[in-house]
Amino acid sequence: MQYRTLGRTGVQVSALALGAMNLGPIGGTTQEEATALVGAALDAGINLIDTADVYGNGISEEMVGRAIAGRRDDVVLATKAALPMGEDRNRRGSSRRWLLTALEDSLRRLGTDHVDLYQIHRWDPATSDEETLSALTDLRQAGKIRHFGTSTYPAHRLVEAQWAAREHHLGRYATEQPSYSILQRGVEAHVLPVTQHYGLGVLVWSPLASGWLSGAIRAGREITTHRSTFMPQRFDPAVPANRARLDAVERLAGVADDAGLTLIQLALGFVTAHPAVTSAIIGPRTPEHLHSQLAAAGTVLSADTLDAIDAIVAPGVDLAPQEKNDTPPALLDPALRRR
């Protein structure tokens, strides 16, 4: 396993991180299975575990807490807040009122007195950067979090937050967690240059593009992945973006074969090759998934292989831009576009 410094924090983390979204109701993983997966990942050298309060409405955090009991000091533990945790309109967002409550809830579920990285799951347009950064700075000073970061922030919001931290003499975000894969390369155009400029650590989610790059989805086969059962529109072959993805996957499979790699190794090796990326978050549901993804640890792609990938999906291009989860609010709500 390779290790890299998380931004400018000085913390050393594995190039592959364990994502815990599938632990619990989302992935159908039991506590026994979750404990085995976490243990195997730690034994393989993974030392960063990423979860969120919203995963299974807190169940993922509970499972992670039980799985790392007795090994807490071996883990760089990351969680997130801001997405809705119930119907109450104040149990969401990044206000001081909610973040202080949300963190206490997460710490209780995780069975720990601190998290190493606390991330704002999505930008909250209703809350100022000063309000959020002030709350996070206080939580760090209280010892309840070690560092704080963002997830799926547009590039301009990352810049605004850095400016606000300097202007108001507050702690600054140390990391960003974007969606990035061979099939979704849009962050290369704006987000990753900003993270490099400010020295942010980058933890990539969905490096296998929701299973498109797992090797299980190929032309002529029925798509029966776990994600396709509750996100059918993302795998419907009638959708033009999905046809484009399937065509790219077939061509990428040939590149992987030529390089003597699996498609998973190609996909994870591509993401971790970018100089801005610290770790790629993998989200296995089974031991077989974990072992197939651990096989990518240490994969180094040649310049020829990277050039071949660029010829299939050009740098900075998203094949499914509607799935980026960072669309400006005014494009989603007509009321914000009209006087």
In tens, the pLDDT along 191-225 reads 999 999 999 999 999 999 999 999 988 887 777 66
pLDDT value at 100 more than 90: yes
**Domain tally, the chain:** 1
In DSSP notation, 154-182 reads -HHHHHHHHHHHHHTT-----EEE-B-BT
Q: Which residues are catalytic?
A: 55
Range of the domain at 297: 3-337
CATH number of 298's domain:
3.20.20.100
Put simply, whether the predicted model's pTM sits higher than 0.85 gets the answer: yes
Q: Is the pLDDT of residue 321 over 90?
A: no
Q: What is the pLDDT of residues 221-274, one digit of tens each?
A: 777 666 666 677 788 888 888 999 999 999 999 999 999 999 999 999 999 999
Q: Is 283 within 8 Å of 34 (Cβ atoms)? A: no
- DSSP string computed for 273-320: HSTT--EEEE--SSHHHHHHHHTTTT----HHHHHHHHHHS-TT-BSS
146-159 per-position pLDDT tens digit = 999 999 999 999 99
What percent of the residues of the chain are helix, what percent strand, and what percent coil, each to the nearest 5? Answer: 45, 15, 40
Q: What percent of the chain has pLDDT over 90?
A: 86
Two tokens at 115? Answer: 């998290």
Task: State the residue for tokens 């900075």.
Answer: 316
Of the candidates 116, 118, 183, 125, which has an alpha carbon nearest to the alpha carbon of residue 154? 125
Q: Nearest CA to 75 among 45, 101, 53, 105?
A: 45
Q: Which two tokens stand for residue 130?
A: 């000063």
pLDDT of residue 323: 82
Name the DSSP class of 29: B
The Cα–Cα gap between 40 and 18 comes to 11
Alpha carbon distance 136, 150 (integer Å): 11
Residue 333 has pLDDT above 90, yes or no: no
